[in-house]
A and B are shown apart, each in its own frame.
Chain A
Amino acid sequence: MRHLAARLRAEQNWLNVIWPSLPIIAAVLFTTILLLLFGASPIESFAAMWQGAFGTSDHFFAVMAFWVPLLLAAAGLLITFQAGLWNIGIEGQIIMGAIGASWVALSLHLPAYIQVPLEILAAMAGGALWAGIAALLKTRGGVHEIFGGLALNNLAIILTNYLISGPWQPPEGGSFRGTVPFEKDALLPLLGSTRFSPISLILAGIAFAAVILALRNSTWGLKLKALGRNPRSAFLLGVSSNREALMAMLFCGALAGMGGAVRVLSWFDSLRQSISGGIGYLALLVVMLAAFRLLWVPLVAFFFAAVLNGSITLQLRTQLHSSLGDILTGVMVLFVLLFGDPLRMRGLRKARKASLSADRPKADEATSPEES
């Protein structure tokens, strides 16, 4: 008996080692087929992607500059996912953060050590505002956060376009591209001639550490977990689902807004048309791929940042559309989602049989606690 258990454990360890690399292999195979379909050499293409990410120090710092807002958004999403919320509205929260920071940058002209913190605070407020609306739409209005968030994303994009083609239009006029460049004192201090700001990385590090502490060592984290696992029993235990959901969304929105500030105050120097460019959606993929293993999140985010920056170089060199990077990351996440856990895959057959007697809530009990 003991013998069998040991063998089983060894086998599981072996599976656990090999399994995580399968999605990567699948994603690389899939993109290789796509490249061959377009008559491109896969080896040259992947080499171009590698050089685009790590070829020169400029490329590397571009990856770093992309990594910071992605990490901030992913950190915020850890909180909302823990509370069982699908914060698809994070894209709009990043944009609103960028708008908030730009508003301060354009209207105030203070010394850098006051100006920049004010901009970041305004960005956090902007992100939190958008997240708060989505949360209230859910808790007060019964609109699912996916739909509320999605509509708010589009409204944020439209607001950006309105601002840069209307009130914040540069005096030379006409352009749909962006506002005037902000003053130097309004920008985050940059590293040399790159667009990467070390201070933004420190901010992201602090934010991520705060999220880990909140999730692992605080009552709030526990409440969120209860809410995410089973809203009904959390309600019976006295966890106000509405309040905690609102708090989680505000927290995430503030971090996403900070990410937006990093975009306008370091990567760009002005508010642009596609200021986020899908970082929010990418952050959702990061958290799904890391599957709640907190310390994986920065690594996955860095990997994604490298892939996406690499695919921009790929487009410049081979004229192939840069969405190849998105395809690579998307296929990877899909495979992890579908076949992520080897033990679960094996246990599925058994679980299906046992589930009749399992303690999951019945279909008709799955309504909201308020109704019962």
Chain B
Amino acid sequence: MDSQLIAILASIMLQASPLIIAVCGETLSERAGVVNLSLDGTMLFSAMTGFVAGYLSGSLIVGFAAGAAVGAFFALIVAFGHLALRQSAVAVGFVLTLLGDSLSAFLGQDFTRLPGPKVPKLPIPILKDIPIVGPIFFNQDAMVYFALLLMAFCYWYIFKSRPGLELRSAGERPEAAFARGVPVRRLRYVYTVIGGALVGIAGAAYSLDVKIGWSEGATRGLGWIALAIVIFGGWSPLRGALGALMFGATKALATVLQRTFPEVSVVAFNALPWGLMILVLLAVSGKFTGRLIANAPPRLKRPLRQLLQVVPPAALGVELKEG
């Protein structure tokens, strides 16, 4: 494989890493039954806060911690509004989306386009020398490794561990889980806040690693993409990470195509991610592909269904009734 292609693949991996982190965070809270719709605003606000904290302190850890704190706080508002005050999580999340956007624009106005600290490269010895795989996955920085480990850990935690079983039960059959002694409300709080903190880390990862610095609206749109990827991923961290990589690949492809066909307007390629978002959600939603699968040969039905259709947690966004 030529080195240029490998460089592109490595940059896709870097670009997709914050999305993987955000998708893992949102998957955790939605698996527990709470929709945190505020992702776009949370990521903007945490990207701004993370950069400013990192810039002022000169410390990356402070930057990421500030981003995580902001994300956890926004998620706490959603959880509190939904679980304690019984408001629509969608409504609260939407207002926070707009609020995070405008707060980041206002508070970050004196910190735009400044150079700041950057997560240093951290090649892993031996592994980085594996042909093809090495330069793509193991010649990166700590944020990329964190994203990959987080993805694997979240998958194991949600689907293979005992606390993960309780987490899923809170999102699938909250009444039954409650009757069995699972503290559903507390779990929903905990996972929404942890998920929000991860989203905040993802936001900070943009301004401290992928695209250093802050400018107004720097990550605008990515939060929505992450929310759509959670659906595409069928609420699984592994498939979600695949979605994030596919999104990164689409953007890279758009850049390459733009260079190859300069006569096509630049803006046409900007439409690619959003068009893809609609098509992908159509494909996994089932209403559309249900007919396709129904007409498929019997032997293909099961694999096709597994490949295409996803099922949300049964009690996603449904209030818990406890005594």
Chain B residues with Cβ below 8 Å from A159 are 271
Is A5 an interface residue when CB atoms closer than 8 A count as contact?
Answer: no
Question: B109: nearest residue on chain A (CB-CB)?
Answer: A321
CB of B34, distance to nearest CB on chain A (Å): 14
Is B151 an interface residue when CB atoms closer than 8 A count as contact?
Answer: no
B265 contact from A151, A162, A321, A353, Cβ within 8 A: A162
CB of B287, distance to nearest CB on chain A (Å): 3
- Interchain CB contact under 8 A, B268 and A150: no
A142 contact from B80, B84, B107, B285, Cβ within 8 A: B285
Interface of chain B: mostly helix, strand, loop or mixed: helix
- Interchain CB contact under 8 A, B228 and A323: no
Is A253 an interface residue when CB atoms closer than 8 A count as contact?
Answer: no
Known: A288-B95, A334-B95, A356-B321. A143 touches B105 (CB 8 A): no
Q: What total count of A-B pairs have CB within 8 Å?
A: 139
Chain A residues with Cβ below 8 Å from B274 are 151-152, 154-155, 158
Question: A340: nearest residue on chain B (CB-CB)?
Answer: B87
- Interchain CB contact under 8 A, B323 and A356: yes
Question: A353: nearest residue on chain B (CB-CB)?
Answer: B323
Known: A356-B321, A366-B318. A321 touches B287 (CB 8 A): no
- Interchain CB contact under 8 A, A326 and B102: yes
A353 to B222, CA, bound (A): 40
CB of A175, distance to nearest CB on chain B (Å): 14
- Interchain CB contact under 8 A, A337 and B95: yes
Is B126 an interface residue when CB atoms closer than 8 A count as contact?
Answer: no
Binds A, one of B12-20, B136-144, B238-246, B276-284: B276-284
CB of A273, distance to nearest CB on chain B (Å): 11
Is B94 an interface residue when CB atoms closer than 8 A count as contact?
Answer: yes
CB of A304, distance to nearest CB on chain B (Å): 12
Is A241 an interface residue when CB atoms closer than 8 A count as contact?
Answer: no
Known: A151-B274, A162-B268, A326-B102. A143 touches B285 (CB 8 A): yes
Chain B residues with Cβ below 8 Å from A158 are 267-268, 270-271, 274
Is B173 an interface residue when CB atoms closer than 8 A count as contact?
Answer: yes
Is A126 an interface residue when CB atoms closer than 8 A count as contact?
Answer: no
Considering only residues 143-199 of chain B, those with a C-beta below 8 Å from chain A are: 173-175
CB of B310, distance to nearest CB on chain A (Å): 11
A37 to B87, CA, bound (A): 31
- Interchain CB contact under 8 A, B288 and A155: no
- Interchain CB contact under 8 A, B287 and A142: yes
Known: A88-B94, A353-B323. A348 touches B267 (CB 8 A): no
Is A324 an interface residue when CB atoms closer than 8 A count as contact?
Answer: yes
Chain A contact residue count (CB 8 A cutoff)? 54
Is A184 an interface residue when CB atoms closer than 8 A count as contact?
Answer: no
Is B28 an interface residue when CB atoms closer than 8 A count as contact?
Answer: no
Chain A residues with Cβ below 8 Å from B77 are 334, 338
CB of A137, distance to nearest CB on chain B (Å): 7
Question: A336: nearest residue on chain B (CB-CB)?
Answer: B95
A137 to B84, CA, bound (A): 33
- Interchain CB contact under 8 A, B321 and A333: no
A34 contact from B92, B107, B315, B321, Cβ within 8 A: B107
Chain A residues with Cβ below 8 Å from B87 are 337-338
Is A205 an interface residue when CB atoms closer than 8 A count as contact?
Answer: no
- Interchain CB contact under 8 A, B282 and A137: yes
- Interchain CB contact under 8 A, B282 and A151: no
Chain B residues with Cβ below 8 Å from A162 are 265, 267-268
A136 to B52, CA, bound (A): 43
CB of A336, distance to nearest CB on chain B (Å): 9
Is B210 an interface residue when CB atoms closer than 8 A count as contact?
Answer: no
Chain B contact residue count (CB 8 A cutoff)? 53
Considering only residues 179-233 of chain B, those with a C-beta below 8 Å from chain A are: 221, 224, 227-228, 231
Considering only residues 276-305 of chain B, those with a C-beta below 8 Å from chain A are: 277-278, 281-282, 285-288
- Interchain CB contact under 8 A, A165 and B267: yes
- Interchain CB contact under 8 A, B107 and A363: no
Chain B residues with Cβ below 8 Å from A144 are 281
Is A339 an interface residue when CB atoms closer than 8 A count as contact?
Answer: yes
- Interchain CB contact under 8 A, B271 and A140: no
CB of A281, distance to nearest CB on chain B (Å): 6
Considering only residues 157-171 of chain A, those with a C-beta below 8 Å from chain B are: 158-159, 161-162, 165-166
Considering only residues 130-150 of chain A, those with a C-beta below 8 Å from chain B are: 137, 140-144, 146-148, 150
Question: B288: nearest residue on chain A (CB-CB)?
Answer: A141
Is B261 an interface residue when CB atoms closer than 8 A count as contact?
Answer: no
- Interchain CB contact under 8 A, B315 and A337: no
CB of B221, distance to nearest CB on chain A (Å): 7
A358 contact from B228, B275, B321, Cβ within 8 A: B321
Is A22 an interface residue when CB atoms closer than 8 A count as contact?
Answer: no
Is A118 an interface residue when CB atoms closer than 8 A count as contact?
Answer: no
A38 to B227, CA, bound (A): 34
- Interchain CB contact under 8 A, B281 and A338: no
- Interchain CB contact under 8 A, A151 and B277: yes
- Interchain CB contact under 8 A, A161 and B267: yes
Question: B228: nearest residue on chain A (CB-CB)?
Answer: A147
Chain B residues with Cβ below 8 Å from A351 are 86
Question: A367: nearest residue on chain B (CB-CB)?
Answer: B314
Chain B residues with Cβ below 8 Å from A152 are 274, 278
Is A181 an interface residue when CB atoms closer than 8 A count as contact?
Answer: no
- Interchain CB contact under 8 A, A284 and B94: yes
CB of B313, distance to nearest CB on chain A (Å): 10
Considering only residues 49-89 of chain B, those with a C-beta below 8 Å from chain A are: 77, 80-81, 84-87
Known: A148-B278, A165-B267, A355-B321. 18 other contacts (CB 8 A): A37-B107, A142-B282, A143-B281, A147-B227, A148-B281, A151-B275, A155-B275, A165-B265, A285-B98, A288-B91, A323-B106, A327-B103, A330-B98, A334-B95, A337-B91, A338-B80, A348-B86, A351-B86
Q: What are 20 A-B contacts with C-beta separation under 8 Å?
A: A142-B286, A147-B224, A147-B227, A147-B231, A148-B278, A155-B271, A158-B267, A158-B270, A158-B274, A162-B265, A281-B98, A323-B101, A323-B103, A323-B105, A330-B95, A334-B92, A334-B95, A337-B81, A338-B77, A356-B321
- Using a CB–CB cutoff of 8 Å, the interface residues on chain A facing chain B are 34, 37, 86, 88, 137, 140-144, 146-148, 150-152, 154-155, 158-159, 161-162, 165-166, 281, 284-285, 288, 320-321, 323-324, 326-327, 330-331, 333-334, 337-339, 345, 348, 351-353, 355-356, 358, 360, 362-364, 366
